[in-house]
Each structure stands twice: as structure tokens, then as C-alpha cells.
Structure 1
Amino acid sequence: MQVNLIDVIVCGKFQINIRKTHASMSHSTADFAIGQHLRILVIEAPPFVIVHNSSAQNPTSGGAKNFEQIRHRSDPLKTKHPGVLIYGFVADFICELERQMHFTYTINVADPSMAYHSLVALLAEDNRQYDIILSNIAATSDRMLKVDFSTPFHEDTFRIITRLNPYSSSLSLFSCFNPFTWDVWAAIFAVMIYSSIIIYVFERHNRDTENNQSKLKAILIGICNGLTSILIMNGELRLTTSSSRLTILGLYALGIILVATYTANLSSFLTLNRGQPFISGIDDIKNGLLPFSRIGIVTNSSISDYYIRNISTKYYALSKVEEIYTRLLDYTIDASICDSSLIEYAVNNYYCDELTVTGVGFVKSSFAVVLPKNWLYKTDLDVHILALRESQKLESIENVWMSHQTCSASLSSSSSNFNQDDNSKSETFSLNVLGGLFLIFLIITAIAFGFHICHCRLTIMSAFHQTIKRIKLSIR
């Protein structure tokens, strides 16, 4: 009985301790930062943070370009800088947290060119000037060694952005030769030389000798006739032998097929390259489809960490996200990797018919509030962020900003699926494909040679006998 009494007493003490602990935690949660003043740092990154500076005469930032369209969708938040307001996902997120947690705040806007790693490092300082950082900052293992992160408020992935028109605006003199490979063009040129020579051989005895043309000039004229025979059926050619006519018929057949094949493949080549990006995803970059020096990466960011660890140490360094778009448009780079939310918003609202997002998302990342190490109110902030997610308020904020687009649906990268298979890409025709055509033409000319030999057999025999006599006389 004594053991049972002790058990009851111990159990009772345990219950009392639980009640005390629970009451203590409830008191801490209820008293979170009521009357506390938070110094919040943000950095411009549409659609998370859209900065509007009313004092700037010519705003050039991406968010300011459609300020008139977004100003009626939510109330802006004032910042510490006079005339500077912020809109976007983060502004609405701060308002929701303020309603539930009853704190006051001051918002500072960081320099847009400030590196993300440097931004995070501000909270690792002992004499820090800010309490939290709220923007599109991903929680990574390296950053967690210096600072803490709240529960994620948004899940994102990396994606690739490139030009809608993959080719440079500089003049290309040889782009029209793309439908055929170089060996096919060499074979076409060889056919013209070959056909002109044999036509000259077939016709030289029947031509009027009053023209007094040299052999070289006659061969050059034959080359011109061969070219016109491949491109068009020239009715002005006056041929006197059946061998020449048979050769020209072979050229006609070869020319019709080559011109039809060239035209169809050129149309396909131009159409496909106008309608799809020239890379289909991250695998194309890993496989070296683009020179690494033509890939733009924002330095000192989670993206640069991933790129250096998994792809290459060579890239074109960019100082901020906004520079991605300008470097793509001036053809300094051909592609870039960035957070999908940022580049999809930019393409859908600012660069509709100029840039496109290609491939599927890769490397999932979580955006969270950056906190100092051992921050007193971290647990309470996490609870309220989860409450916003459970009440679907975070989802409604995401729908307002992430799905917004001013471009037409036909030009939107989000509504266009550019994930093409490898066999859908334009391919040039090689000699392996068209070699049979040239072989058929050689057979036709061989038959023409047979006709020519039969037609001129007496002349050939006479010339042969005269040659034998000359050889015998020279031997004597």
C-alpha cells in the first residue's frame, strides 16, 4: 500500500508540474511582443517585395513598371525612407502577422545590389540593427550555422529563364544553309560540276563551231546550265543528243526533290526555333549545351551555391536578380537560373514577348523569416505562421500575387509548355539521308554515257584506230 501511495503522490506531483508548465507556455504565447517594436529589413524582389519610390522621377525597377495596376490590389506599407512604399506578398504577410501578434514595426529597404549572403549576415552581428529579415531568402545549411529561420512561409523551386528568341540579333550570313549539312552542299556543287562536264562532252561535236568558244568557257556555261536545271526547269537549253537530254531530266528530278526538301526543312527549322527555347531544362546546362560563360548566376546566393557544387565554377557573375533580365535582352548571356516565383512573375508581367521560363522546377527551396540565433519569440512566430497556413490565408496571399499576370495567355510562360522531347527538335538533313538521290543521278548519267557511246561508236572506233596507228608509227 505504501508503494501505491507513493505512486499516487508522484503522479500527482507530475500532474501539478504539467499544469504549471502549460500555464507558463500559454502566458508566453499570449504575451508575445505585445507593444514590442520590430525592425524589419526587406529587399526588392517582385512579387515578394515590390518597392515604389514616389520621389523617383523615372522609376526603372520591375515592380514600378506596373505600379498603377497593383496599387489598387492591396494597401502599401510605409518604410523608414520617406516616399518609399512596399507592396507584394511580404507586405500582406506582415499585415497578417501584425493583426495576430499586435507588434509595431519599422521597415527598412536594403540596397537592391546587396548580396543575399551579406543580407543574412547582418543578423549574425552582435550589434545588429535589425530584428528580422523578410523576403525571398531560402533556408540553407550554411546559413543556419549563422542565423535561425522560422517555419517556411513559401515553398519554391529553381527554374531556367532564357530568351524567347534564342538567336542573337547579329547578322548571320550562313543561317540559310542550316537545313542541309556541309557534305550535302558539297555533293550538290560536285553534281553541278560533273553534269556540266559530261554535257559538254555530249554536245561538243554537235555545237556550231562559229561561236569559237574555248573549252573553259563552255564548261562554265555548262555549270550555269546545271544550276538552273536544279533550281528551275529551263526550257531555253538547246540539246541535240539524247544523252544530254537524259542527264538534264536527271537534274530536273534531283532538283525538284532537293528544293522541296530544303523548303520544308527550312520552314520547320524557322518555326520550331521561333516557338521554343533552345534549352529544355537543367540537364542541357549540365551537359554543356551552352557555354558556362553564357550562363548568368546571381553571386553570393543559394543559387550560386547550388551551381558551384553541382555544375561548374564557371559562370557569368550577376550582382542582382534584375540584372538577369537586362543581360538576357542585350545578349550578354543566354540563360540564367533563379527562383521560379521571381522569374515567372517577371515574364508574365514585364517581359511577355521577350523572355520565357523553360523546363520543370528543380531543387526545392523554402523561404522563411531570417531570425537571430536564439531569438526569444521564434516559437511564437512559428505558431502564428502555421496558423496562417492552416487558415489558408497564406494561400490566398499567394494566389493574389503569384498568379497575377498582365501578359496575354498566349504569351505567358506559365500557360505555355515548352517541355519538348529531343525528337521534336529541328534536325538538318545529312548525306546519309539524301545520298540515295545522288546515287540515282549517277546511275542516270551512266545510262546517258551508254547512249552517248552507242551514238558515237563509229567516231570512237575511228579515233581508237588512229591512235593505235600513231603508236605503231612512233614505235617504228
Structure 2
Amino acid sequence: MTPIFFREWALIKSLEELCSSKINNSSSCLSFDQSQFCFNFRFHQYDLLLSILAKTKFLDVSGSLEFTKNTTDRVNDSYYTLKNVQPSVNGLNFVSVLNFIDSGNWRAPVTESVIIWPGYSLRAPVDRAILRGVNLLVGIIQATPFTMVRNVTDDNGYTTIQYTGYIPDLIQLLVDQIGFNVTFIVAPSNQSYAQIIQSVNKGTYDIVVGDVTVTASRRKTLDFSSAIFDNSLCLMIRKTSDESADLLAFLRPFSRKLWMLALCTCIYAGILICLIERADNEHLQNRPIISQLILSIWYCFGNIVGYGVEFNATTAAGRFLTVGLYILSLILVASYTANLASDLTIAKTQFVISGIDDIKNGEIPMNRIGIRVGTASEDFFKTEITGGAQNYYPLKTRQQLYDSLLSGVIDVTLSDSGIAEYAVNSIYCNLTIVGNYFDTTAFAIVTPKQWLYAQDLDVGILSLKESGKIDNIRQKWFQAQHCPDSTATTTTTTAIEIKAISGLFLIFAAITFISLLLFLWAKRHNIKNHLSQFISKIEPSTTESHSMKRNSNRYSEHAQNYQTVWSKSIES
């Protein structure tokens, strides 16, 4: 058989001779009979071309190339030489090590030369091609925490590109293990995963390393290495309240200080009612002081919570104080009811779904489900959920996925479990994973079909797994948790503080002060009489005190005089 190139060259030489002949000077040498169908086209100089082609003869790399009229095969045997690329002082030498003649087998040349195998070895490899020393163009896909790319400027002002994450660490382990050379190429962010991995067949990359899922459809055109990351699909949604039952949840609308202030206000108002009404209200008369006080506090409590009490205020001051209680009740009860309803509504809110079965059963509209285009999750969704229909909400990038979920454009999205766990634990604390994982798969390195170094790469990956190094880098990048634990009591309180309604209590304090003034004004005559009686009691006691003092002075003087007279009589 003749190589295609030399067949084409023979045809070209024949056409050249045909077109240069004198017979065809008057017309085109490349004229055809036109037809509607391309296979019915007929070359006018067909017979002459075959005659010239049979006489064509030239020398190619496989020997003399010549044909005859009776056969389409070349007359002479083909001749090939196998050369070995060997290093030398002056560069590379191409040394002939085997010859081949068409009718025979490969034979050593007269001057026999040894074959230098990769690694400068004289021993032929018995198992596989090795990657050591091979330069690879490695395509990487930016996806936190698998691959993160950033520019780093040193003290001298030089900027370099730094690659961090699970994939760069894995590649470095493989480089240390196998010994190949790496040139990183970051895949364009506007390309889908399907487009990126097909670039391997186009020669853009030698291999692609990233969060690429192994699927049956992809294996038709590409090969994959051993698994580098165990993966599953999961559902990611916005986080809602998942706190355990709280027996005192009904107290949450008000802060603890506000509850204490409300209680003290009720007791304070009860004391005032007892003071104002105890003398004039028949329900409080003829009762012990403790009973009067308790009944007065009950009266204030009933008016604050809006529950009817057994008696009404009879004095102007008591009624005015009751108005203050009504105002206090109006604001406190309304605020409590509104805040409690809000808290209960939030607490009652559950996840919109519990797992993949809810999506299959149509619990969520398809246009509220976000799917990244060109990913394995899209293949799964089309195959298992929609039957090939593309009625979901399409997403082009992972950032668009997060933004759409957080802003409420979509309610749920499918994501790879590794990336989803990292996102909800370290970046997006108000997102969460719901339900069980499904569609267990694996990430692997994308390689061309029947890649020469596939076995060597697989052996290196398996060696890293057995040594536990892959588990170590997985723990390094995926076990970190920067978001607070959802089970911890770190939720933001919505309780109403004193500051929010401090004006209400100031108004009530003013009302109680006015009520107290009204009470004092109504009792002014009694107060005046009591003051008069009190003063009158004080005056007699003062007069009596002065009289006793005068008598005491007189007695002292008389005794002193008697003592003087007695002393003189004794002296005489």
C-alpha cells in the first residue's frame, strides 16, 4: 500500500503532464460533464489521465514509486526505515535501527545500532508509557474550593498568578509522585463544562483537571482517569428557621427588660388604684389592706390585657388612671400580637421541599428550579426529571446560581455535594442542603481517548489514595467551617426593647402623676382637716412642756434658797 500523500503526489504529477500536453492547449484540461448529482460528474480526459498515471514514476521515502496498466498497486516494493531519536553532544540524532521491505519483515540494518529507550535506558519498557519528564498543558476550572486563582504582588512590585485549592494541591502531589511538568491554563469562565472538556480533543489542553463528573455520554468521546473526588448531587435552598421547640417562645415578642417594666408598671398602677379607690369604692371597702392591694393590681392587669374586671373606678382620679391603662393596653397588646404573629410565622416556615422526590412529584414549579447549563447535573435533570425537556431556569455560572438562590429568583438548585458543603459551611451561611444525596458519581481527570499515559497517571492517583494524601487535602479544603452552627442559639432576636416604646411609659407616668394630683385635690378638705388635727395635737403638747419647764425652774430656785437658809442656820 502506498501512503495517501504519495498517491496524491502521483495524481498531481499526472495532471501536470496532462495539462502541459499540446492536445489540451485549445481547451481546459480539467473539464467535466456537468450533472445534478456530484457522483455523476465525469472527467473528459479520463482515459488519457489513466494512461499518463500508469507511466508516472518518481522516488519517495519508501523507494521507487511506479505503476502499470494491469494493476493499481505500485510495481516495486515499498521500503521503510525506523529511526531512533537519540541524544548526543550536538543535539538529537536520528539513528536507523530497523528496515522494512514490502515482501518481508523488519530487519536490522547492516550497521546495527542499539535503541535508546525513554529514560536513557537500553531495556525496552514492558508495561506502559511513563509521564516522567513529559510537558503537559493542564486545563483547570475555577471553582471554589477546587481551584482558586489570584494575582499576588511581591515587595518588588512583581505580580504573579497563584493557584490554590484542592486541584492545585492534587496536581502538585502527582508531579512529585510521577515527575511530569505542568503548564496551567485557566479555562474561560464563559464556557460550559461540556465545552471545556471537548477542548481536550481539539488539542487546547492535554488534560483537564477540575470538578468534572464522569458520565456515560462524556465517555463516548473522552477518557477519564481514576476518580480523584467522590461526588454526589444534592439540593441547595435558602435556609429557614430550624430551631427546636421553646416552651417560652410566647415571651419572645418583648425583651426581658420590657416584661419586667410592664410588670412593675402593673404593680405601681395597682398601688395607686388602691390608694385612690379604697375609701370610695364599695368593692374595696371592708377588706384587709392586702386584699385591697391584690384586687387593685388585678384591676390594672385586666385593663392592660383587655380582660374585663369585676368593678370599675368610681373617682375621677381612678377613671383618669384607667384611661392611662387603656392607652398602655392598646399599644402593648397590639405590639405583642403583631410581633408574636411574625415570630410564629417564621417558626412555622419549613423547607419548601424535603428531597429529590418532591421535585419529581412536582412540588415546585420547574421555572423555580435552577440548573447550570452544560453540567452533569443538567444531564441528570433532563434524564430523570423532565424527560429531556428544558423547562427549568438555566444558569450559566456558579455565582449566578448563588445570586439567584439568595435573591429568590429560584427556590432550589442542584449542585455537586462537595462544592455545596463548602459553600454553606464557609461562604453562604444563609443557604443549606436539604434531603439526602443522590446520583453518586466521581470527579476524574479528563484525557484524550486511548491516551498513551493513561495507565501511568492512574497508577499515580491510586498510589496517592493508598497513602492517604488525597484524603488529607480533602480534609484541608472541605472540613473547614466558618459559618455558625445552625443548632447554636445565635439567631438574631426580634424582641421589642424598652427603647422602642419608652415614650408610651413616659406618657403613662405623666397620667399617673396627674391622677395623683386629682386624688389630692379631691381629698383636699380631708387633708386640710387631718393637717389641722395634727397641728392641734402638736400645740398642747408644746404648752404642757413649757409649763413643766417653768415649774421645774421654780422648784430648783426654792430648793436652792432652802439650802442656803439651812446652811446659814447651821453656821450660826
Answer yes or no: is the 8 Å Cα contact 2:231–2:441 preserved in 1: yes
1:48 correspondence with 2:146: yes
Task: Indicate the SS of the match to 2:382.
Answer: helix
The offset of 1:333, in angstroms, is 0.7
Answer yes or no: is the 8 Å Cα contact 2:129–2:456 preserved in 1: no
Identify unmatched segments of 5+ residues in structure 1.
1-22, 56-81, 167-230, 239-260, 413-476
Q: Distance in 1 between matches of 2:123 and 2:233?
A: 39
1:291 correspondence with 2:389: no
Answer yes or no: is the 8 Å Cα contact 1:38–1:106 preserved in 2: yes
Letter in 1 for 2:218: R
The offset of 1:338, in angstroms, is 0.6
The residue number in structure 2 matching 1:376 is 452
Letter in 1 for 2:198: A
Letter in 1 for 2:347: T
1:115 correspondence with 2:192: yes
1:37 correspondence with 2:111: no
Letter in 2 for 1:328: L
Task: Indicate the SS of the match to 2:485.
Answer: coil
Q: 1:266 to 1:387 in 2, by over 3 A?
A: same
Letter in 1 for 2:411: D
Letter in 2 for 1:44: Q
| Mapping of residues 221-370 of structure 1, within 5 Å | 233=307, 268-273=344-349, 276-312=350-386, 313=389, 314-352=391-429, 354-370=430-446
Task: Indicate the SS of the match to 1:386.
Answer: helix
Task: Indicate the SS of the match to 1:153.
Answer: strand
Q: 1:29 to 1:399 in 2, by over 3 A?
A: farther
Q: Deviations over 1:128-150 (max 9, x none)?
A: 12100000001100000111000
Q: Distance in 2 between matches of 1:124 and 1:269?
A: 55
The offset of 1:124, in angstroms, is 2.0
Answer yes or no: is the 8 Å Cα contact 2:128–2:453 preserved in 1: no
The offset of 1:374, in angstroms, is 1.2
The offset of 1:310, in angstroms, is 1.1
1:106 correspondence with 2:183: yes
Q: 1:143 to 1:329 in 2, by over 3 A?
A: same
Structure with higher helix content? 1
The normalised TM-score by structure 1 is: 0.53
The offset of 1:343, in angstroms, is 1.3
The offset of 1:287, in angstroms, is 1.5
Q: Distance in 2 between matches of 1:116 and 1:234?
A: 71
| Mapping of residues 121-140 of structure 1, within 5 Å | 121-125=198-202, 128-140=203-215
Query: RMSD across aligned C-alpha pairs, in angstroms?
Result: 3.3
Q: Deviations over 1:325-379 (max 9, x none)?
A: 1111121111100101111111111111x21111111100110000001110001
Q: 1:26 to 1:45 in 2, by over 3 A?
A: farther
Letter in 2 for 1:364: T
The residue number in structure 2 matching 1:143 is 218
Task: Indicate the SS of the match to 1:123.
Answer: coil
Answer yes or no: is the 8 Å Cα contact 1:114–1:320 preserved in 2: no
Q: 1:26 to 1:318 in 2, by over 3 A?
A: farther
The residue number in structure 2 matching 1:73 is none
Task: Indicate the SS of the match to 2:191.
Answer: coil
Question: Larger relative contact order (C-alpha < 8 A, sep ≥ 6)?
Answer: 1
Q: Distance in 1 between matches of 2:442 and 2:193?
A: 15
The residue number in structure 2 matching 1:402 is 478
The residue number in structure 2 matching 1:390 is 466
The offset of 1:36, in angstroms, is 0.9
The residue number in structure 2 matching 1:206 is none
Q: 1:24 to 1:145 in 2, by over 3 A?
A: farther
Q: State which structure, 1 or 2, has the greater radius of gyration over its C-alpha atoms.
A: 2
The normalised TM-score by structure 2 is: 0.44
Answer yes or no: is the 8 Å Cα contact 1:146–1:373 preserved in 2: yes
Q: Distance in 1 between matches of 2:487 and 2:126?
A: 52
1:155 correspondence with 2:230: yes
Letter in 2 for 1:147: L
Q: 1:135 to 1:24 in 2, by over 3 A?
A: farther
Number of residues of Structure 1 aligned to a counterpart in Structure 2: 276
The residue number in structure 1 matching 2:173 is 96
Q: Distance in 2 between matches of 1:333 and 1:411?
A: 26
Q: Distance in 1 between matches of 2:127 and 2:427?
A: 43
Letter in 2 for 1:36: V
| Mapping of residues 430-469 of structure 1, within 5 Å | none
Q: 1:332 to 1:102 in 2, by over 3 A?
A: same
The residue number in structure 2 matching 1:182 is none
| Mapping of residues 403-418 of structure 1, within 5 Å | 403-410=479-486
Answer yes or no: is the 8 Å Cα contact 1:29–1:380 preserved in 2: no
The residue number in structure 2 matching 1:243 is none
| Mapping of residues 186-197 of structure 1, within 5 Å | none
The offset of 1:25, in angstroms, is 11
Q: Distance in 2 between matches of 1:290 and 1:408?
A: 29
Structure with higher strand content? 2
Letter in 1 for 2:460: H
Task: Indicate the SS of the match to 1:32.
Answer: coil
Letter in 2 for 1:145: K
Answer yes or no: is the 8 Å Cα contact 2:369–2:412 preserved in 1: yes
